[in-house]
Structure 1
Amino acid sequence: MYRISKEFHFSASHQLGHLPQDHQCARLHGHNYIVVVELAAPALNADGFVRDYHELAALKHYIDTCFDHRHLNDVLDGPSTAENLARHFFDWCRERWSEVAAVRVSETPKTWAEYRP
């Protein structure tokens, strides 16, 4: 299996208001997010790629337009957790590229959430 990945960055605020009031994530705060999309294929295409990285520019445009410097509670349905972001980006990417295997989202340098069916 061949695997490729590409990393994207954005900054956004969110608030997990369903958590107890004394939980730090219940307060309004922000993160510098990292999104990594992974694509996989058992064979390479005629150009020798799983998929041309240039084609993934659509994800950058989507992130820049809809997520960067936004309040995620206004963008997502459901809690604006890293786990839900990973699933959201996975579904968005999978509609466009059949090779999408997983999406990882980081809120901090030490934490990652991944959605992989």
Structure 2
Amino acid sequence: MLTITKEFHFSASHVLDRLPAWHPCARMHGHNYVVVLELSAPREALTEAGFVRDYRELDAFKQWMDDTLDHRHLNEAMGGGTSPSAENLAVWIFELWCDRLPELTAVRVSETPKTWATYRPDHRRT
């Protein structure tokens, strides 16, 4: 299995309103997020050029992220009802993009340089 990754950046605010009122993350605050898409394919499934997927084909994801998430309030951007934690953001991105990027195997989200959440489903839908 071969794996590629590409890193993307955006800035946004959120409120983790399911936390106790005394918790600092229960107040509105923002992060400079890092999102890493991981795509995988067996060697025999590489493109003729030898790629899992051409990195340039991820430009659509970058455009979507800029339009949908960058300088937005994640509570609104993700729709009501879902707490915009890094974990939920990773799942949400994966579920939105897995059909468009069938090689997508994981989404990693960082809110700070030392914290990461990774969503890697046990198996892909067919």
- Cα distance in structure 2, aligned partners of 1:49 and 1:93: 19
TM-score normalised by structure 2 residue count:
0.90
After superposition, the CA RMSD in angstroms is 0.7
- Counterparts of 1:102 and 1:47 in 2: how far apart (Å)? 23
Q: Cα distance, 1:93 vs. partner? A: 2.0
Who is 2:124 aligned against?
none
| 1:71-112 CA distance string (max 9 Å, x none) | 001011400000011011111221101110000000000000
What is the number of equivalent residue pairs in this alignment?
Answer: 117
Q: Which runs of 5+ in 2 are unaligned?
A: 122-126
- Displacement of 1:63 in angstroms is 0.5
Equivalent of 2:52 in 50, 53, 56: 50
Q: 1:107 aligns with which of 103, 108, 111?
A: 111
Q: Does 1:26 pair with 2:23? A: no
TM-score (norm 1): 0.97
Runs of 4+ in 1 over 6 A off after TM superposition: none
Report the AA paired with residue 33 of structure 2: Y
CA distance in structure 2 between the partners assigned to 1:82 and 1:103 by the alignment: 10
